């Protein structure tokens, strides 16, 4: 479980997103970060029992910075209002598919898959989906996957309007080939975040979608 004080810190940060407030509450931030990192390490331990590729990954290697990059943004708020971490072989900067946990009061979720891969990796995944479309759809339609996740993220910013160059518009996998990300989310209520079973339940949900991770990683192996 996560501590109520961790959620309380993030609520305060959302309300007072400025450096002076953050500096005044730095000790609360450090305690909240430590709480989140501890949760992540426990989650990695459980996930690695079924996914040995992440056995040696440390939570700190998966954690995203809380500072925002505001150079090209109209929103100059200096801090993110969430804690986020991407667990995969190689850590948060890895090219591989993996598991994500987003902690934000009122907007928390866990996710699985591959988010906005670079063009070479994206081309490989699309080719794998084209070649193995039946296998891919079986994974997405499996009872274990559907218990926790809907279909892949399909918002406008994550999909092309047409199939990529080189693919027939009538390709049975066309809707998947248009995607720029291959990612599924499961929303979490604040009450779930404070449950003693949070780590175990999160691991269970994410591992239900491990076949998707394995499929996406197959064409990315060097």
Residue 105 has pLDDT above 90, yes or no: yes
Q: How far apart are CA 147 and CA 213, in angstroms?
A: 16
Q: Which two tokens stand for residue 211?
A: 């076949």
Give the helix, strand, coil percentages of the chain, each rounded to 5: 50, 15, 40
- At 108, which helix (H) or strand (E)? strand 108-114
Its pTM stands at 0.93
Question: What is the C-alpha end-to-end distance of the chain, expressed in Å?
Answer: 37
Q: What is the pLDDT of residue 119?
A: 96
Q: How many domains does the chain have?
A: 1
Residue 73 has pLDDT above 90, yes or no: no
- At 134, which helix (H) or strand (E)? helix 133-141
What residues make up the domain containing 41? Answer: 4-67+76-220
Q: What is the mean pLDDT of residues 138-160?
A: 90
Q: Using pLDDT thresholds of 50, 70 and 90, give the confidence band for residue 102.
A: very high
């Amino acid at each position: 479980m996560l501590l109520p004080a961790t959620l309380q810190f993030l609520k305060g940060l959302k309300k007072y997103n400025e450096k002076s407030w953050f500096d005044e509450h730095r000790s609360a931030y450090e305690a909240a970060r430590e709480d989140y990192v501890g949760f992540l390490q426990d989650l990695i331990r459980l996930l690695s029992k079924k996914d040995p590729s992440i056995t040696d990954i440390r939570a700190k290697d998966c954690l995203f910075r809380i500072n925002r990059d505001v150079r090209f943004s109209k929103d100059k708020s200096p801090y993110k209002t969430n804690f986020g971490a991407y667990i995969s072989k190689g850590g948060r900067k890895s090219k591989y598919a993996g598991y994500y946990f987003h902690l934000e009061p009122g907007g928390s979720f866990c996710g699985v898959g591959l988010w906005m891969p670079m063009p070479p990796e994206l081309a490989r995944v699309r080719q794998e989906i084209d070649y193995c479309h039946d296998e891919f759809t079986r994974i997405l339609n499996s009872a274990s996957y559907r218990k926790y996740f809907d279909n892949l993220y399909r918002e406008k910013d994550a999909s092309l309007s047409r199939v990529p160059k080189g693919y027939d518009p009538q390709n049975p996998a066309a809707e998947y080939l248009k995607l720029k990300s291959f990612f599924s989310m499961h929303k979490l209520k604040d009450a779930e975040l404070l449950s003693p079973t949070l780590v175990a339940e999160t691991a269970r949900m994410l591992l239900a979608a491990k076949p998707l991770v394995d499929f996406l990683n197959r064409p990315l192996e060097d």
